[in-house]
Amino acid sequence: MRKQHVISVSEIIQSLGYNPSELDEYSSFLINEEIKKQIKTVSKANRAHSIIYSNPDLNEDIIRFIVFYVNENTDIQDVLFLTEEGADEDYYELFNGVAIFPVVKKIHIVECRMLESSLFKWIHNIPLED
């Protein structure tokens, strides 16, 4: 995990002095700006190979925003969904790929595997028109 940077929304909320159950538009804006700042900073760093975005309140709108922001504002090429097998399958199509990690804590993260899906391969191989 030394070459991964973790962006934890819960930690950002806490570090800015907010309570997750009492967020208003202003505090949400400040939290969002901090997330964007961290993504930009880490994406330019030579020491980080990947960013892990952790958010217990993940939903489709948040995913679409993060993927759009990363694609438009960084040189990061792929946004992958790191999840346990069988969880949150509705979100799979929103990412470039899915990495399944084992639920057993004694297995190292380097032992995760990419989910091979014909849908992902089909979408990835669609030619883009100029």
125 or 130: which leads in pLDDT: 125
Q: Where are the domains of the chain?
A: 4-124
Residues present in the chain in total: 130
Residue 2 to residue 12: CA distance in whole angstroms: 20
Cβ count near 106 (within 10 Å): 5
Average pLDDT (104-118) is: 56
Supply the DSSP string of 53-94, one letter for each residue. Answer: EE-TT--HHHHHHHHHHHHHHS-----EEEEETTSSGGGGGG
Confidence of residue 1 (pLDDT cuts 50, 70, 90): very low
Confidence of residue 118 (pLDDT cuts 50, 70, 90): low
Q: What is the pLDDT of residues 60-103, one digit of tens each?
A: 888 888 888 888 888 777 777 777 777 778 888 887 777 777 66
- At residue 89, φ and ψ (nearest 5 deg) are -65, -20
Q: Which of 92, 61, 60 is nearest to 79 (CA)?
A: 92
122 or 7: which leads in pLDDT: 7
Q: What is the pLDDT of residues 27-49, one digit of tens each?
A: 999 999 998 898 888 887 766 56
The answer to whether residue 52 scores a pLDDT higher than 50 is: yes
Q: What pLDDT, on the 0 to 100 scale, is given for residue 57?
A: 82
C-alpha pair distances (Å), 107 with each of 50, 102, 111? 20, 7, 7
Q: Read off the tokens for 122.
A: 């089909």
Q: Read off the tokens for 60.
A: 């489709």
